[in-house]
Chain A
Amino acid sequence: MSNARPSTEETAESRFDKLNYRRIGLYGLLGAVAVLFLVPLVSGLMTSLKGGNAFATTLPFVPPSPDVATLEPWSTAFSRLGGAMINSAAVAIPATVFSALFGSMTAYGLTKIDWRGQLVVVVLLLAAVFIPYQAVLVPLRQGWTMVGLEHTLELIPVVGDALAARTGLFELIVTHTAYGIPICTVLFRSYYQKLNDEILEAARLDGAPERRVYRRIVLPLSVPMFAVTLIYQFTQIWNDFLIALVLLNSPENFVVTLELNALAGSMQSMYNVQMAGAFLAALPTLLVYIAFGEQFAKGATV
């Protein structure tokens, strides 16, 4: 920020006559873009607060007048999406934690080894970050059908049936963990490459096996990177639509993105309910973003 960058720090003669106009122009431009960026969200929010048909008769981005203001669209949306949000959390939280852990371990294993083939593993993991999911959907669906988890679980006494009813969610957890590992590895790898080696070496000289070096020293040092990775992964998994669409069959197992799509389909012209639903579905990631914007940006720039 302390950089002397062009146009605000002009040469002396132009500074006086240009500075104010430039500043005003700059803030005007930035502000106008910011407004453009906020329009869809603000008009969505305002629409979600209008009852009855008022959303169609008033301007979308204008706040509701007191006689039409209501939270009813939100409660309608919540009654549809509540259960799906719990399903999403049940998938996103474990899958986030597992993929971050695997990513951290994988990255540790790949930054400390030095063998010719190492680059192959790294390249394969890096490329996997960018794979379009469509390329794996058919095998994914067929593979999980062949594993036949549903019927295997039914054989387990007492809890088996309950678990079998939720098998789609279990499959989603495993799948998201697997697809999260590449990006987590890349994030942790760039972090571990910068890690000061001396303390690790000291522990190794004391005879600590690698797993203790990792658990006692590397893991505690990784906390900031875990924050970035968990935030990024949680957002990604919570926002996933395609994999859930292919793997989940029964509506009671729907995650929130699927349920929101279903709600939009069944409430075609109820835009106020749809907008409320969109905000509800986005709420966790919005909160994460507002609370940890810095870390979110760090993960996003990978």
Chain B
Amino acid sequence: MIERLVRSLRQSSDSDADADSGRPLRSDGGERLNEPRSSSELRSDGGERPGGVDAAESGLGRPDETGPESESTLGSIRRSEFVQSIPFWLPGFLLVGAFVYGAIGWNFLISLTDWSGLGDPDYTNLSLDTYVQLLRDGAFHNATWNTIVLMVAFTGVSLIVGLLLAILMDREIRFGNGFRTIYLLPMSLSFVVTAIFWKWMYNASDGVINVTLEAIGLGAIAPNWLGDPRFKLWAVVIALIWQFSGYCMIVYLAALRAIPDDHYEAARVDGATTLRLYRRVIIPQLRAATMGATVVLVVFALKAFDFIYVIYGGSQPGPSADILGIMMYREAFAGTPEWAYGSAVAMVLFVLALAVIAPYAFAQYRRGDL
């Protein structure tokens, strides 16, 4: 996806060369414009094949490659292509439909009942009462606030750290691969594993952080990271930044490498300082990469459940580290279940995720990258 983002970025920077750099008609039009050698030439070859490829024959190929002359029969060809493609995508799509969209729909339905989880839910008496209750719930306000703080801090800092690392790495350096391997390494670990490591890092008396603070004479300010309400959420944020800023670096590095050299040179010739060069020329061109990485990070932030659950020993981290994901699990699965209530919290979480994904998907669509 990032690869495509990068390509479309390059395309938009060359847009004066392409007459129709707007929304391509075909979903993969973006590819075509950039790779005339590999596909469009071959396409015209196909049309001129000796023996006269008529509409029916070329209908065996991709419909968009039949050219305008076969417009009249295009409808039926498309239909047969469509029918032939069904066995390929329908099974997977049905599974996703059931497990994702069906489940979300069902979850919404459950959130409209007053089901506790015992017996069967009563689907005949639906109301928004649960949501009204939720809006009055102080624990919900608190969890929402923590979720937003976590999301913004984690996403923002990870992006900045990732960008700075990428800028440093975007040149010929020795051991470049070694550095990259180390930076990306934490991302291969599960939240559960990182939570175990960081529980030791944060240990109040023997953990690495406080031992180091003491060693440099700052023992007096060494906090009880996992016990003090002021630090509980930030302990999570720091660990998540550690885990995912390497990912941001990889995304930005790919985007930086796609920027043509002459952009740097032109700015240099104009006498731009390095700072100005990045602010005015480079960073604006990284918008697509930033957007893609932000979406991924926000979703990870909403999933931070695993980390908090493990590092705080269950679904009761206390109000200062309570996030919506934890609250949802607690309401639905821990102690006395309140499935309707848990489902309502889950819907709020889903809407939050949607609020981030929708602009991204829309931008992708406008670029013709869907």
- The answer to whether A and B belong to the same complex is yes
Residues of A at the B interface (CB closer than 8 Å) are: 1-8, 11, 26-27, 29-30, 33-34, 36-41, 43-44, 47, 55-56, 59-61, 102-103, 105-115, 118-119, 121-128, 130-143, 175, 177-179, 181-182, 185-186, 190, 193-194, 196-198, 200-201, 204-205, 209-211, 214, 235, 238-242, 245-246, 257, 260-261, 264-265, 271, 274-275, 277-278, 281-282, 285-286, 288-290, 293, 296-297, 300-302
Known contacts A138-B339, A196-B42, A198-B42; decide if A30 and B179 are in contact (CB<8 Å). yes
Known contacts A137-B346, A277-B196; decide if A179 and B86 are in contact (CB<8 Å). no
A186 to chain B minimum Cβ distance, whole angstroms, is: 6
Secondary structure call for the A interface: helix
Q: Are A121 and B184 neighbours in the complex by a CB distance under 8 Å?
A: no
Interface string of B270-302 (1 = CB under 8 A from A): 000010010000000000000000011001001
Q: Are A132 and B197 neighbours in the complex by a CB distance under 8 Å?
A: no
Interface residues of B in 63-94 (CB under 8 A from A): 63-65, 78, 81-82, 84-93
Contacts of A210 on B, CB cut-off 8 Å? 84-85, 87-88
Q: Are B4 and A190 neighbours in the complex by a CB distance under 8 Å?
A: yes
Which listed residue, B57, B99, B101, B182, touches A38 by the CB 8 Å rule?
Answer: B182
Q: Are A286 and B188 neighbours in the complex by a CB distance under 8 Å?
A: yes
Q: Check B265 for interface membership: any CB of A closer than 8 A.
A: yes
Contacts of B27 on A, CB cut-off 8 Å? 118-119, 122
Secondary structure call for the B interface: helix
Q: Are A6 and B103 neighbours in the complex by a CB distance under 8 Å?
A: no
Q: Check B156 for interface membership: any CB of A closer than 8 A.
A: no
Which listed residue, A130, A201, A211, touches B299 by the CB 8 Å rule?
Answer: A130
Q: How far is the CA of A134 from the CA of B296 in the complex (A)?
A: 16
Q: Are A115 and B329 neighbours in the complex by a CB distance under 8 Å?
A: no
Q: Are A34 and B57 neighbours in the complex by a CB distance under 8 Å?
A: no
* Chain B interface residue count, Cβ-Cβ cutoff 8 angstroms: 134
| 23 pairs from A and B in contact (CB 8 Å cutoff) | A1-B176, A6-B274, A60-B208, A60-B211, A112-B85, A127-B361, A128-B100, A130-B299, A132-B349, A135-B346, A135-B349, A141-B333, A143-B103, A204-B61, A241-B190, A241-B192, A242-B303, A242-B306, A260-B192, A261-B310, A274-B196, A277-B196, A296-B188
Q: How far is the CA of A277 from the CA of B296 in the complex (A)?
A: 28
Q: Are B3 and A138 neighbours in the complex by a CB distance under 8 Å?
A: no
Which one of B130-138, B222-230, B249-257 is at the interface?
B249-257
Contacts of A281 on B, CB cut-off 8 Å? 190, 192-193
Q: How far is the CA of A209 from the CA of B356 in the complex (A)?
A: 41
Chain A's closest residue to B302 (CB) is A132
Q: Are B350 and A293 neighbours in the complex by a CB distance under 8 Å?
A: no
Contacts of B20 on A, CB cut-off 8 Å? none
Q: Are A105 and B184 neighbours in the complex by a CB distance under 8 Å?
A: no
Q: How far is the CA of A122 from the CA of B92 in the complex (A)?
A: 12
Q: Are A264 and B310 neighbours in the complex by a CB distance under 8 Å?
A: yes
B49 to chain A minimum Cβ distance, whole angstroms, is: 9
Q: Are B85 and A34 neighbours in the complex by a CB distance under 8 Å?
A: no
Given contacts A115-B82, A274-B199, A296-B188, 14 further A-B contacts (CB under 8 A): A33-B183, A40-B242, A109-B89, A114-B78, A121-B93, A127-B357, A130-B295, A132-B325, A138-B342, A181-B92, A194-B38, A204-B60, A286-B185, A302-B1
Contacts of B14 on A, CB cut-off 8 Å? none
Q: Are A289 and B188 neighbours in the complex by a CB distance under 8 Å?
A: yes
Which listed residue, A118, A135, A261, touches B107 by the CB 8 Å rule?
Answer: A135
Which listed residue, B65, B171, B296, touches A197 by the CB 8 Å rule?
Answer: B65
Known contacts A122-B27, A260-B193; decide if A112 and B62 are in contact (CB<8 Å). yes
Residue among A4, A47, A200 facing the most chain B CB atoms (10 A cut-off): A4
Q: Are A185 and B92 neighbours in the complex by a CB distance under 8 Å?
A: yes
Q: Are B89 and A110 neighbours in the complex by a CB distance under 8 Å?
A: yes
Contacts of A29 on B, CB cut-off 8 Å? 168
Which listed residue, B45, B185, B205, touches A198 by the CB 8 Å rule?
Answer: B45
Which listed residue, A186, A240, A260, A300, touches B196 by the CB 8 Å rule?
Answer: A260
Known contacts A30-B179, A289-B188; decide if A186 and B103 are in contact (CB<8 Å). no
Which listed residue, B65, B81, B184, B353, touches A130 by the CB 8 Å rule?
Answer: B353
Contacts of A196 on B, CB cut-off 8 Å? 38-39, 42
Known contacts A27-B173, A282-B189, A293-B184; decide if A194 and B31 are in contact (CB<8 Å). yes
Q: Are A186 and B1 neighbours in the complex by a CB distance under 8 Å?
A: yes
Interface residues of B in 185-210 (CB under 8 A from A): 185-194, 196-201, 203, 205-208
Please list the 10 inter-chain residue pairs (A to B) with the smallest Cβ-Cβ separation, ordered nearest first.
Answer: A109-B88, A109-B89, A239-B190, A106-B92, A178-B99, A136-B103, A289-B188, A135-B350, A204-B60, A139-B106
Q: Check B98 for interface membership: any CB of A closer than 8 A.
A: yes
Q: Check B18 for interface membership: any CB of A closer than 8 A.
A: no
Residue among A113, A118, A200 facing the most chain B CB atoms (10 A cut-off): A113
Contacts of A239 on B, CB cut-off 8 Å? 189-193
A174 to chain B minimum Cβ distance, whole angstroms, is: 8
Q: How far is the CA of A302 from the CA of B62 in the complex (A)?
A: 26
Contacts of A211 on B, CB cut-off 8 Å? 87
Which listed residue, B86, B93, B208, B268, touches A125 by the CB 8 Å rule?
Answer: B93
A220 to chain B minimum Cβ distance, whole angstroms, is: 17
Interface string of B212-236 (1 = CB under 8 A from A): 0000000000000000000000000
Contacts of B187 on A, CB cut-off 8 Å? 300
Q: Are B170 and A5 neighbours in the complex by a CB distance under 8 Å?
A: yes
Q: How far is the CA of A4 from the CA of B265 in the complex (A)?
A: 8
Contacts of A261 on B, CB cut-off 8 Å? 192, 309-310
Known contacts A138-B110, A138-B343, A140-B103; decide if A37 and B182 are in contact (CB<8 Å). yes
Q: Are B313 and A3 neighbours in the complex by a CB distance under 8 Å?
A: no
Q: Check B305 for interface membership: any CB of A closer than 8 A.
A: yes
Known contacts A201-B46, A285-B190, A302-B1; decide if A131 and B350 are in contact (CB<8 Å). yes
Chain A's closest residue to B81 (CB) is A113
Residue among B86, B91, B171, B190 facing the most chain A CB atoms (10 A cut-off): B190
